Amino acid sequence: MIEVTNLVKTYGKKDNTFNAVDDVTFSIPTGKSVAILGKSGSGKSTLMHIMSGLDKPTSGSILIDGKDILSLKQKDIDSFRSKKMSFIFQSFFVQAKESCYDNVSLPLEIAKISYSRRKKMIEAALAAVDMSEKINAKAGELSGGQKQRLAVARAIVNSPKILFADEPTGNLDSVTGGMVENLLFNYSKENNVTLIIVTHDADLAKRCEIQIHLKDGKIDSTRGII
């Protein structure tokens, strides 16, 4: 359960302020897929950053499973993120010069998973995205779709509770994009993982159980919120 209450994020000073996120309140039950929709500048990315603890709001609160993440110290937020959350980005951010294995290994190293347990987890994650045979290939040699699948493997390897995806199909053609979408939705369903997709793609948003439309930082309309 993610509860967002009266969230405000203000940029600028004195007379020159504007609210990127303006008094946003909603809650997302665990295991749901959520689309945060909006044009660029609507505040959807800022909202995602705040929800994941990467950014601090000006006011408001975020409770994740009853825990106020804004009251945590930086190192506890980091630790929370490494254990409970994961990210998928539009531009993949895979390390081109590293092997697929090492790319997927990074979140496990950050979460201090012991060396002996890592290998199995990495192999399982790569198998889940159908990339097992690429385990030793350099990430730079992969196609765009494969890179994003690798990024998905990296995101799910440590069994997160919340998966943030920022325009996950924005850099992909419709076929490979569809594959990645399927991967994400299936993973979310099968593992009861909350999937939060930030997008301006209405078709992708339709596949989500909950849709939150943002306009100028405010919630314009919602669908599916109970």
**218 interacts with another protein by CB under 8 A:** no
Q: How far is the CB of 143 from another protein (least distance, A)?
A: 19
Q: How far is the CB of 118 from another protein (least distance, A)?
A: 10
> Whole-angstrom Cα distance, residue 103 to residue 166?
19
Give the number of residues in contact with another protein, rule: CB under 8 A.
29
Nearer to another protein by Cβ, of 51 and 210: the residue is 51
x/- letters, 13..52, toward another protein (CB under 8 A): ------------------------------------x--x
Nearer to another protein by Cβ, of 92 and 211: the residue is 92
Contact 177, 146 (CB under 8 A): no
According to DSSP, residue 124 is labeled H
Q: How far is the CB of 27 from another protein (least distance, A)?
A: 24
Query: 106: which strand partners?
Result: none
Nearer to another protein by Cβ, of 128 and 139: the residue is 139
Contact 125, 154 (CB under 8 A): yes
Nearer to another protein by Cβ, of 90 and 132: the residue is 90
> Whole-angstrom Cα distance, residue 172 to residue 206?
18
**112 interacts with another protein by CB under 8 A:** yes
Q: Of 82-101, which residues contact another protein (CB under 8 A)?
A: 82-83, 85-87, 89-91, 93, 95, 97-98
Contact 155, 93 (CB under 8 A): no
Contact 51, 2 (CB under 8 A): yes
Three-class secondary structure of residue 212 per DSSP: strand
